[in-house]
Amino acid sequence: MRKAIARLAAILALALLVTLPLIAQTKATVPSPHPLAVKLSTASEPLPLDDLVDAALVFSGVSDSSLPAYRRKLLDLVAGFQQQAAGNPDPATLAVRALAHLHARLLRRYDVRQARVDLLLDEGIFNCVSSSVLYLVLARSVGLTVGGVRTTDHAFCTVKVGDSTVDVETTNAYGYDPGSRKEFTDSFGRVTGFAYVPPSNYRDRTPIGERDLLSLILYDRVSFAIERGDHASALEPAVTGWVLSGDALSRTTLVTALSNYAVWLGQAGRFAEALLFLEEVERSYGTDSDLTQRRRELLHNQAVALVEAGDLDAAEAVLTSQPRADILDPTDRRELLVWIIQLRADRSARKADYTAAVSVITDGISRIGAEPQLLAAFEVYTHNAFAQLYNARRFEDAKTLLEAALARYPASRVIRQDLDAVAKALK
């Protein structure tokens, strides 16, 4: 899996650095899981062979129109092996022959990124996931009991032989019971770049069933789609993987894909779509702390973008409209509102309309409280408005202004000094 599992947690941060191509905009929606995943999610294992065949293909991304042709191709491979295995009931022999059949008939070249079974059938290019899934299909077709093992960055199969469970490293022709084969140890690391994890290293091994093994195709598709910046293509396999497996890894994969897609929309300035998308996600898959944080960040960035575009009213609406505004961090929300109020007051001040600027700040204090930055601005604009009135010898108007201001900000020494100056002028 080329450390796909370990990489997923870091992909969100990496995605923030990607330069986005210009693409046609479409409405952001949460895709439905593949119907076969819904069916298999409640099925008992071992799964029916026909379902295994179809799952290996559709989870690889094969379309409905292409499925019959690929199904025939895979079933031809199965039929060839069944013919070769006919009359031999020994599980160990069948397990070895299944691996040999794969490597003789199909597996040509290892590629860490090639988890798709359809491409393996077309070109013979494989990784640990696609080869394990094909081995699962072949071995099951002759009645073997097959499981899987997931490590941090790799996957392989196990097969039941009598009372024993034997590892099968499907990427290597000598991978049956690999710890006992010198040919395997000589070639495995050189070909794949991975180290074999023997049964004794139980802490590094996670036994998995057929559904979980199939889901690794989906996780690799998610991981590699995100790596190339195609966040939309990561959604369906992530959703399908969660429905199919429902474990912690599938949840992490789902959240990563959904989160990255929302971030990608935000980077494109499509904040409203991103927020609607995450709200739909919450309705479909429940609350998640990471996705709630993405919503906070998107609301923050949407407000900032509107401010920078000069639309202060729309920016303020983002920060005050319920229920969305409730998820914002209170401190962040307050700081953004203070910024907007200051900018609105500054617009009046730039026209030398300091009285209007005072009015804007006064309204802001009434709505969000006496924030230090607002009080400082209130003091400055009040002084400037006073100076205009004083210089125009409108002392009574200046007195009225300052008395009202002092009632709002009694601790202001500047306003008191200005009021003293007016009192002297009125004598």
DSSP 176: B
Nearest to 365 by CA among 385, 342, 387: 342
CA-to-CA distance for 242 and 374, rounded, in angstroms?
49
- List the structure tokens of 119: 């491409």
The pLDDT value recorded for residue 63 is 96
Q: Are residues 114 and 256 in the same domain?
A: yes
Same domain, 227 and 348: no
In a domain, 125, yes or no: yes
Q: Is 155 helix (H, G, I), strand (E, B) or coil?
A: strand
Residue 297 lies in a domain: no
As a whole number, mean pLDDT of residues 68-77 equals: 97
Q: With respect to residue 114, please indicate whether it lies within any of the assigned structural domains.
A: yes
* Residue 302 belongs to a domain: no
Which of 52, 227, 236, 224 has its CA nearest to residue 135? Answer: 52
Q: Kindly state whether residue 318 falls inside one of the protein's structural domains.
A: no
Is 90 exceeded by the pLDDT of residue 101?
Answer: yes
Which residue carries 């990489």 as its tokens? 7
* Host domain of residue 139: 4-268
- Kindly state whether residues 365 and 250 are assigned to the same domain: no
- Say if 55 falls within a structural domain: yes
Q: How does pLDDT run across 112-160, given as a tens digit for each residue?
A: 989 999 999 999 999 999 999 999 999 999 999 999 999 888 999 999 9
Residue 85 · residue 25 · CB < 8 Å = no
Q: What is the CA radius of gyration of the chain?
A: 33
Q: With beta carbons less than 8 A apart as the criterion, state whether 91 and 144 touch.
A: yes
Q: Binning pLDDT at 50, 70 and 90, where does residue 178 land?
A: confident
Q: pLDDT by residue (tens digit) across 229-288?
A: 999 999 999 999 999 999 999 999 999 999 999 999 999 999 999 999 999 999 999 999
End-to-end CA gap in the chain? 88
Q: How far apart are CA 157 and CA 374, in angstroms?
A: 66
Residues 224, 98, single domain; the answer is: yes
Say what percent of the chain tops pLDDT 70: 88
Contact call for residues 220 and 127 (beta carbons, < 8 A): yes
- Single out the residue in 268, 298, 317 at which a domain terminates: 268
Q: How many residues does the chain have?
A: 427
In the predicted model, is pLDDT for residue 225 greater than 80?
A: yes
Same-domain pairing of 357 and 238: no
Q: What is the CATH number of the domain that holds 382?
A: 1.25.40
Choose one of 268, 296, 316: the last residue of a domain.
Answer: 268
Q: For the chain, give the mean pLDDT.
A: 89
**Non-local CB neighbours of 273 within 8 Å, separated by 6+ positions:** 25, 27, 28, 265
Residue 151, classed as helix, strand or coil, is coil
Residues 33 and 218 sit within 8 Å (Cβ to Cβ): no
Q: Is residue 145 part of a domain?
A: yes
The better pLDDT of the pair 67, 27 is held by: 67
Domain closes at, from 223, 245, 268: 268
189 and 87 inside one domain = yes
- The region that residue 259 occupies, defined by phi over 0 for left and psi between -120 and 50 for alpha, beta otherwise, is alpha
Backbone angles phi, psi at 62, to 5 degrees: -70, 130
Q: In terms of pLDDT, which residue wins out, 20 or 108? A: 108
Neighbours of 391 (CB within 10 A): 9
Higher pLDDT: 70 or 198? It is: 70
- C-alpha separations of 209 from 106, 147, 156, 353, 396 in Å: 24, 5, 11, 73, 86
Question: Quick one: 198 and 95 in the same domain?
Answer: yes
Structural domain contains residue 307 = no
Query: What's residue 201's pLDDT?
Result: 58
Say how many domains are in the chain.
2
CB atoms near residue 88 (< 10 Å): 11
pTM, rounded to two decimals: 0.83
CB 169: neighbour CB atoms within 10 A? Answer: 29
Taking residues 364-381, what's their average pLDDT?
95
Q: What is the mean pLDDT of residues 345-371?
A: 96
Mean pLDDT within 326-352: 96
Residue 202 has pLDDT above 50, yes or no: no
